[in-house]
Each structure stands twice: as C-alpha cells, then as structure tokens.
Structure 1
C-alpha cells in the first residue's frame, strides 16, 4: 500500500498542558517518548492509509511550564524545555516560540505560516496533521481543505465543533492517550478495506450488527431506548464493537444511521419507526431534555444521556478514583464495566467526556484526596457552563440552574 505523504505540526504547550490536567502520568509519557507514539500514529487512526512523515515540527515555548504534578519532585514547576531533547531525538524539528505577551506565544501563527508555505512545496503533502485544540486553527483547516488536502486534528481536550467539523479526521484525547500508552486503536484492529466502488467495506461482523438491529427495530412494539439497545448489542457482538469503535462509524448512533432503517426517527435517547410509533417525548416520556440543555448539547458535544444516568456515572468515577492509581483509559473502561453490571449502559466516550470535564472543572480524579461523587458532579457542571459561556451560548441564571439539575449537580446557591 502506498504511503500518505504527511506533515505533523504539534503545538506542544497546548497539547501537553491539556493532557497533564487529565492524566499527568500519560502526559509525561507523551513528552518523554514521542518516538513511540509517533511510530504508532504512522499506521493508526489514518484517513487514506499509513503515513510517511515528510515534516515533523514541534512548536514549544522554552520558558513555558506547568505546576509539577509530583509534590515530592523538589520543584514546583515542570518546565517544557526538559522535554526538548526527546523530540529532537525522535526526528522533530523543534521551533522555539517564546512568549510574546503575558499569555500568548507565537506557536499558532508559526504553525499557520509553515503549513501554508508547505502548500507551495515541490513535493505535495497529502495530509496535514494539526496537533492542537486551539480553535484559532479553524481558518488554516479551511485553507487546507480549499487546497484539497486531507486534514487530521489531534485534540488534547473537547475542541469546538466549528474547529473539528472542518477536519477529515479527529483524534480525540481518549484516542491520543491510548496511542501514547500503546493500547489497541481502531485502525490497528480494524483496517479499512476499500471495495471496487471506492467505498469503505465494513468489518465482517457488521452484517451481524445489521441483522440484529433490523430484527429488533422491526419487532419493537414501541420506541427503542438507545442506551439499552447499545448495551444489548455489545453483549451479543462482543469486544469487536469497542475495538472497531462501532465498525468505524465513531459511535453507536452513527452506525445505526448508516443502516437507513425505513421510517427511522431519532431523538436524544430513542429510535422509533415513525410509521408505527409516536415520538417518545411527546408521549409523555420523562427523558426529554430541557431546552437549555438541548441548546448547548450540539455545540459542546454533550453526551446524550437521560437525567437519571448522570449520578451513576459520577459515583462510578468516584469509586474508581478512591480505589485505584489514576489512569484515564483504565478509568473509563472500569467505570463503563461497573455501570454495565448495574444495568446502566454508558459509552466509554461519554465517560471520558465527563472525566475530562471534571478535570478542567477543578476536581481531577488523580487528586489527593480523590473527589467524591458530589464534587465530580459539581466540577463537571461547572466546566459545561464555562464552556457554554466561552462559546457565547447565553444562559440566564434560571437556565444555568436547570442545566445543573439535569446534570445531577447540586445548586451552588442552595
């Protein structure tokens, strides 16, 4: 198979500072072993095939730092400069980007200029991999798309929808952490096969998935709960569902939508045959989200969970934190399995979303002492509302309280 000529532009400050707030151990591994995850990225999470790196650039503020995550280290600051030799030895060209103002360095501008310059190189770069969660990169992705180049975003956190929607491929922080730790990722377990028509050929077990869903959908006397349906299918189809990330579609609902079931209608929590069933929400279902939650769900990528599912997620994460040395990928897997034993089916991606939000909300699970379920809920709700404000989603105080209530978080004014 011909290799894709690729260019990688890494905003080290942006990626590392986001990762260390989620999982300090893996963030250090990311910075100290770039050659290992780069090798895995060569053949993993690809768009058109394995990559051949023509450009490898790491943009770093040599004076940048974060609070040291290890209190016993004897220093309060962890300077980025200590990681510079690791990237040089891995074949990266390290571009020093010292701070120009109190809060801003020139990394994003340098990345944009260098990427646009690369469009004029004699050798064409087929794919541009942008490792940054900064939505300021959106115009660059638009420019690369206009030049008919493939783009992949490596996002260290929950990036803005306007940013990620422009790219051909999004590598989430969960996938990045798995990549760093050497865990199986989708493209290694489920390589994409292209048919004669040029369309991706789904894995062999996709046919079983299609048959099971079609039978359940046709025989259903009423709307099907998406979470329960996903849980049942995961049990019947086995681990291939998670390893392939729902057969390469990136999520359960997207896999369902690909089947084009006749008269199928979807809501946040249900799928139904519109020719035989009425919408569950209008039929008095208690699962319909309030308007403020609906308004911010799509822009923030908020998982589509019913109100009563949020507290069990917080409790499962608190239980994990209380009994384990924290590891984000292990935490999401452990919490998912623990919830499944209780009959609560929540995807790892949804649990990872909550875990990241909890960390950015000020109660990371690796904290000593670890946060309890109420602290997890509060931090997660705080982060959701902070992200809503940053995205210019206007919410009144009453609507904010409604969002907190839906997410199962206590009212700070109570």
Structure 2
C-alpha cells in the first residue's frame, strides 16, 4: 500500500515514453500497430487512464483509474521518426528531442529519461506511479530506486525484456494486451467466420447432441479447456468421419455454435480459452430450505454411485466417464440441480468425506477419481518426460526462471514450430492473428499451449533476425526452431547465465527436439 497515496480513486501518474525504442520494437512485430502507436497516442493514453481494462470488462466501479499529470516523450527528431512529433504534442506531451550522438545513431533518450524521472520523484506533487514505456532493461536501477521510495511502477513488456527488469516493476503490460486493448489491433477471425457461414451446416440433431455432451462435460469439471474439446467431439461418428469441423472449419467456430445452442454454456476468453457453465439463476428464497434438503440426499446418492464405480474398476476412473455413469443411474436431475448444488461433479467429489475417493485434475490430465488404497495416483501425460531427463529438466527450469522461456516439452515445441509454419503457408504473418491461430491449432491436437507462450516464441524468432516471407514461401519448422533456440541463447547471455557446451547440447534437445536432426 502506498503510504502517501491520495484518498480518491485516481492514481497520480507520470508517464515517460522512449519513442524510438517502442516504435521500432512494435514495427518488428506489427507495422500497423507501430503506426497506431505513433499517430494515435490519445487512444492508448485513454486506455491507460481507464486502468487498462480489457474489452469484456464491465465492472467499471472496481476498475483502477489514473490521472496522468506528467506526459513526456523522448524521440529522435531527425530522419523518418521526426514526423511523429506533432501527434504527441497534440496529445499534451512534452516532447524532448534526443538527436543521435554517436556514429551508431545512439541517442540520449535514456539519460534524459533517468534525469527527468529522478527530478519528478522530488516534485512537490507526490506522484503515486511512474509509467516507463521502454523495453530497455537499463532502467532496472531506476525502478529499484522508485520502489525504495514507495512508488508504483508500470512498464511495457514489449520485447523479451530481462526478468530482472520485469521483477523490479510493480506491473508489466504484456505486448498482447497493449496491441489488442491499448492500440485496438485485434486478431482477425473474418476468414473462418466467412467460410463457416458459407459451409453446409451439420445436421441440427448432431449439433444438439454434441452441445449436450459438452454441457455434461462442463457440468462434470466446471469448465472444459479448448484442448480437451476434440476428445469430446470424437465420441460422435459424424464428427470422426466428417471434415472441416462439420463445416465450421475450426474448433473455435464449431464450439461457438454448440455454445449458442446450449444456453447453459458460455465461452470464456483467455490465453487458453475454455467453455464453462453460464451463471445460474438464483433460487427463490421460499424454495431454499427444500432445495438444501434435496441437495443433501442427492449428494449422498451420487457419492454412493461413484464409490460403486470406483470399487469395480481395476484402475482410476476418468471423471467424465464416472459422471456419465452417475447420470445414467441417477437421472438428469443431477444436471438440472447442478450436481446437487455443488456446481460441478468434481466440486461435489472434493467435498465427499470418503477416504476411498480421491480426485486429481490438472492442465495435463482429463481428471480421474480413484481409491488411494487400491489405485496408483494418475500421472499427467507429460509427467514422465522430466523424470527421463533430469539434467535437462534442471536446465529448463534455470533458463525459464531467468529468461522467461516457456517450459514446454520438446514434443510441444515441435508442434508449435510445425503449426507456425503451416499457418504462415496459409496467411501472412501478424503477431496477434498468428499467435491465436497457432494456439487454436495446438488445441485441436489436444495440446494446451497458452497464447502468451506462442507470442513469446514468435517474438523470439523475430528478435533472432528471422524474416517471415509471403504465404507462397512458408518457412521450414526446423529453421524456426533454430532461430528461437538462438534467441534463447542470446537471452541467457544477456542475463549472464553462462552455458557450457554440454548444456547447449541439452538446450538443443529441449528446444529443437526431432527438428534438430533436420538438415540446415
């Protein structure tokens, strides 16, 4: 808590923009976003002042707001970047010209910013927050000084900033959030939507049945992440034998149609999007007591059925299978009452006071219920990988902690590089669109790869100097893998994490996997 913070809902903020650093960083990953940043500063300023809300946030009362009292932009007035100066002066910025001082075109923006930040720290107005829009990790000591003075700090994590830089700040804005919400540069879905609209729809009866199966699964676990959806749909022969996701051309579009058909479901956005139950309608007060009595009896009945199912099984039982057996034996009232008021099948079992029932769930397991006195605990799909290569697992952990490199398995990295190559053979590179498309393609293959991880990989490939060509010239997955691997090595060097030749070989096994065997 800030000891000197004003009592109003607004933070008093001071904003410092390293224009060249942000503009050039944006241009590398999305030229359109760079242009919006440079010509429409009022757009992202308004977003910052409103507390950086996402488009789907509706609870404005709980949203943090800012009063940005100091606005300073530091840019090179010579050359092409000088033409953006008027856009910032029009948005009430004080623009500080920082011309090149060396033969390498290095300007003095960072020095000017440091001096101005320290001067502002001593200003008679007590600023609660300092916003530094720069990916330059050299500002880390400044952030530490501000923290020592009990001030909030906000940075823009546009590139692959050092972990120490991000850790020194109070909050870091991700590149995805800044592009999509701050600049309004959203990933396009028009192509898939248009194809789905033109495609002959699957039979309504099949879609309704799939929607009901999806509802049952969501009611069982509380939610269904995107990568678990294909397994549910494959239970239907029409889906297995069909093509193009029953005419909807993507997992996302098909799922959207099923959610539309089942009012009890809703689709929730996120790094890994998912399907959850829609908000329940509150019960009438006069019915509360009978419902509570019914819930207790129904819960006992459900638990008894699960105990019978588990006792008859020689191995842990998948939660979805156990839930389906309960529905068959007890009836659909378990769904109508949302599992006797528990909200989900898994939540109900978690409250069951039975030493012979235990459940395990997680991102890499479909969820199981088992008897710990008879069954071995189920293991995630990738659990054995780290155990088989302990040295590599230790190296992965070190590199991930220091550089932020995603801790994916070699198989997952190979999948991501393959899907990036396929996507770039269909459409031109765009950071947001490509990241979302690759995430969804991985989900269609049953792998939960967060969009933030895909974006990190794409930016790493770019920062390694790789140039994406037109769709007619798609890259080779092995070339993408090598570029990302080289960027990880560069990040390690920047973080002063020295790697031995043996560790570099293990790094290759982790990042390149089988792609490392390809000629290149």
**TM-score range relative to shorter protein:** 0.7 to 0.9
Match of 2:66 among 51, 54, 67: 51
CA distance 1:19–1:154, shift in 2 (3 Å): same
CA distance 1:137–1:268, shift in 2 (3 Å): farther
Give the Å deviation of 1:181.
Answer: 3.7
CA distance 1:267–1:111, shift in 2 (3 Å): farther
Alignment check: 8 A CA contact 2:52 2:181 kept: no
Aligned to 2:139: 137
Match of 1:61 among 76, 98, 104: 76
CA distance 1:399–1:26, shift in 2 (3 Å): same
Aligned to 2:206: none
Q: 1:329 and 1:19 mapped to 2: Cα distance?
A: 12
- Deviation track 1:34-62 (CA, whole Å, cap 9, x = no partner) reads 12122122214379711111011111122
Aligned to 1:346: 449
Aligned to 2:498: 394
Corresponding residue SS for 1:332:
helix
Alignment check: 8 A CA contact 2:127 2:151 kept: yes
Aligned to 1:255: none
Give the Å deviation of 1:283.
Answer: 9.4
Give the Å deviation of 1:33.
Answer: 1.6
CA distance 1:367–1:132, shift in 2 (3 Å): farther
Give the Å deviation of 1:175.
Answer: 1.6
Larger CA deviation: 120-129 vs 318-327: 318-327
Aligned to 1:302: 405
State how many pairs are aligned. 354
Corresponding residue SS for 1:8:
strand
Alignment check: 8 A CA contact 1:8 1:130 kept: yes
Match of 1:323 among 426, 431, 450: 426
Alignment check: 8 A CA contact 2:16 2:73 kept: yes
Q: 2:17 and 2:273 mapped to 1: Cα distance?
A: 25
- Deviation track 1:267-298 (CA, whole Å, cap 9, x = no partner) reads 997999xx985997689845864433332111
Alignment check: 8 A CA contact 1:268 1:304 kept: no
Give the Å deviation of 1:183.
Answer: 5.9
Q: 2:44 and 2:435 mapped to 1: Cα distance?
A: 21
- Deviation track 1:113-170 (CA, whole Å, cap 9, x = no partner) reads 1111112222221111111111111111111111111111112202111110111111
Q: Write the mapping of 1:308-387 to structure 2, written as runs, cut at 5 A.
A: 308-365=411-468, 369-387=473-491
CA distance 1:19–1:265, shift in 2 (3 Å): farther
- Deviation track 1:366-411 (CA, whole Å, cap 9, x = no partner) reads 6684423222112111111111122221112332232122112526
Match of 1:149 among 148, 151, 161: 151
Alignment check: 8 A CA contact 2:227 2:443 kept: no
Match of 2:270 among 225, 235, 242: 242
Alignment check: 8 A CA contact 2:227 2:445 kept: no
Aligned to 2:516: 410
Aligned to 1:110: 112
Structure 1: 5+ residue stretches without partners: 65-78, 185-208, 217-225, 247-260
Question: Root-mean-square deviation (CA), in Å?
Answer: 4.1
Q: Write the mapping of 1:175-324 to structure 2, written as runs, cut at 5 A.
A: 175-182=177-184, 212=221, 239-242=267-270, 285-286=387-388, 289-324=392-427
Structure 2: 5+ residue stretches without partners: 1-7, 54-61, 187-217, 232-251, 260-264, 275-349, 351-358
More helix per residue: 2
Aligned to 1:23: 30
Corresponding residue SS for 2:115:
helix
Aligned to 2:101: 100
Corresponding residue SS for 1:154:
strand
Alignment check: 8 A CA contact 1:227 1:345 kept: yes
